[in-house]
Amino acid sequence: MTETNPSGWRPRTSPERLRASRGKNIDRPSPDGRRVRRQPSRTSVRHDSRALRERQNSRGGSGGNRPSHRPAERRATRPAAPSKSERSKKQSPRSERPWYIDVPIIIAIALIATIAFQAVVGRVYVIPSESMEPTLHGCTDCNNDRIFVNKMVFDFKDPKPGDVVVFKGPESWDNAYTTSRSSNRVVRGFQNLGSYIGLVAPDENDLVKRVIATGGQTVECLPGDKGVKVNGKDIDNSYIMNPPSRSVDTKGGSIACGGEYFGPVKVPEDHLWVMGDNRTNSRDSRFHMGDQYQGTVPVDNVIGRVDARILPFNRIGTVKHPQIQS
């Protein structure tokens, strides 16, 4: 049995039912209980549609999380591409520094790295004299050899005969040393800086010679000898300056000895007997036999081994360290 509604009240149609029934006829009960097919009220549809839109807007935009299908709105909310000025502002602060700040910083870092390298690993020296000709070239007012001295090699082994080494001269060797530095403080400062990168000779009594004998060995060169002997045996002299650069007084020496006769001298332990390859023009161990070490050099005074000539370009190459004792 169908209930009647004498007051004529009609329940509001839900939005889902409204959308489902839009454009269709809707059956409504009549007051007398009969079902009458009638067209939905246009005012009711508008009212329900407006209520639906209000509920959607209250949920946040058109349809909650439903994407908008209005291209104009999407174009309006799309972020614009940054301009060149905006991109330049986002660049790193380093690129904003002027060149006259960057260049000194780079130079300072390079100098610090160079000084640290030369203090630990190796150092560049300038050959100041002719005492090691022809192995190493050096003279006054000429294009002297620049050499690389390996400071680490003797951390693992001791110098051996035939090695070309740089060492700090003992106190008795300082008598003939004179400084080459300028009296001007500014110029002297640049000279000291240049010595760390091999542009200027160091203002130190650092010498370069070849090891001839080591601790416990006896070295000599006496009348009738064909050359320098170690433990009574001739050594290899193929690397020395020949012909000699200076004449020799044969009354007290010989060309074979490279000057005056000397020895025999027994080298103390942990000491070295050193000589220049230019035997007739080298102030080496032979000229200091009257000191406390008999002309020898403590091993602790050795700075490093000469491994290479790095300048000038026509002299670039490794420095040989032959086995001079048979």
Q: Known catalytic residues?
A: 131, 209
Question: What distance in Å separates the CA atoms of residue 180 and residue 203, rounded to the nearest whole number?
Answer: 7
For residues 184 and 110, the answer to whether their CB atoms sit within 8 Å is no
The H or E element spanning position 56 is: helix 42-58
Helix (H, G, I), strand (E, B) or coil at 47: helix
Closest to 278 measured CA to CA, from 174, 136, 127: 136
Beta-strand relationship, 146-150 and 259-260: unpaired
| Phi–psi pair at 48, nearest 5 degrees | -70, -40
CA proximity to 121, closest of 305, 244, 287, 249: 305
Q: What is the DSSP string of 157-171?
A: S---TT-EEEEEPPG
Report whether 319 contacts 145 (CB < 8 A). no
Q: First-to-last CA distance in the chain?
A: 135
**Could you give the C-alpha distances from 192 to 176, 181, 186, in angstroms and in order?**
21, 8, 10
Q: In what order do the strands lie in the sheet with 262-266?
A: 233-234, 229-230, 218-221, 262-266
Q: How many CB atoms lie within 10 A of CB 125?
A: 25
DSSP 12: P
Question: With contact defined as beta carbons under 8 Å apart, do 229 and 220 qualify?
Answer: yes
The span from the CA of 149 to the CA of 196, in Å, is 12
Q: Which amino acid is at 318?
A: T
At 93, is the secondary structure helix, strand, or coil?
Answer: helix
